[in-house]
Structure 1
Amino acid sequence: MRKVVVGAMVSMDGVMQAPGGPEEDPTGGFTFGGWTAVLGDDPVFGEALGKLFDEPFDLLLGRRTYEIFAAYWPYAEGGPSDDIARIFNRVTKYVATRKGMDLTWNGSRTLRDAVKDVAKLKQEDGPTLLTQGSTELVHALLSAGLVDEICTFTFPLLLGKGKRLFNADSQPRTFKLTHSAVSPNGLVAATYVRGGEVKTGTVGGPVEPSTAELARRERLRHED
């Protein structure tokens, strides 16, 4: 079976929109494109990103991220990002799109129904299915419970607005931290693997509620 791994560069408040440059994705009035550039040469970031790309993988991309990548990576070999360009250009690219579009990047394949098609791909033998960017696709995969691993690179800044890694549709699920590293610059690289169901309880154990607590609960019921 293949596993689905979400790879995401995020701010402290979970924004992952346009990490690479000002013109990458200004939709929604986003004005902070390129927010990762200030720490782009961080050694912890470079090591963790290299580890993520060292394992065999195919790319799993949403339409907008595919368009960004297809306009850049085929032309990036021989440049400062040559190593990544050669990997990205070689692997298969699965593109989730409900609209017809020209897949100009070599090795690209269309997924018309992202959730069903990814579920089928997971049943096959093959390399990891790795997402990059692709917010809407990631939301759909998290909602369907198809994500096996999440690799985040959290940058020490708040962006306030923008497309976020998680939304309210994410399927409740625990994850286990398997690796983490913190750079002197404050960047945190972390890898989480899928766990089980979310369990709840009362901190310190159950106690008999006070009259004030019962009144508070009653007020909350009316506020709902």
Structure 2
Amino acid sequence: MIEKRAAQERGHVDLGWLNSYHTFSFGQYYDPHHMGFSALRVINDDTVQPDQGFQTHGHRNMEIISFVLEGTIAHKDSGGNIETLPQGEFQLMSAGQGIYHSEFNHSSTNPLHFLQIWIEPNQTDTRPSYQQKPFNVIQGLTPIATPDGQYDSFTIKQDASLFQLVLAGQTQQRYAIAESRRVYVHLISGSLQINDLSLLPGDGAKISDIDQIDLINEGSEQVIALMFDLP
């Protein structure tokens, strides 16, 4: 089964300094039909105005991934990490037994656009950790986070994997889904077809009880998406 999560149906909040679209229930947005998917709990599509951001706040027992689409994040946390995260880079913060952090738009002139993703861990109250790096934008599926850090990916505390999908125009990729596994796809740019389902930017797809999918780019614009292989 493939179920579409249309971009225009997501929760929305506009605070002036922050314009955010929530794929799943978050904050003041609550929808009992969209509380997450397997261990995937949050995909927030955030645009932050110049010199604005999230003040210091805490997290516990959550794997938190940020992917910068435009601009640069200024990050600071209680683990002593003071970093900038530019366009195209990923960050994985394992909150474990507890961590405090702040995220600000590093620019005083340009907006910051990034995805914030939460994945529920299968290990709790562990020591917090921080990982950050760029991944090449190359054709096909690039592992970003895996349970054992294979292929030079981040190590995530869950039986889940995150991939970056890149498809040039008029290309496709087949993906085999192991028994009892589920997949979620979030489209960032381009137009993507998953079997017979069409997605536009901001759309997502919940995929279950299928043993393989064909990810197809029938257009000329490059497709970039995130794909989660979940328990």
- Shared fold (TM-score greater than 0.5)? no
Which has more strand, going by share of residues?
Answer: 2
Which has more helix, going by share of residues?
Answer: 1
Asked which structure has the greater RCO (Cα within 8 Å, sep 6+), the reply is 1
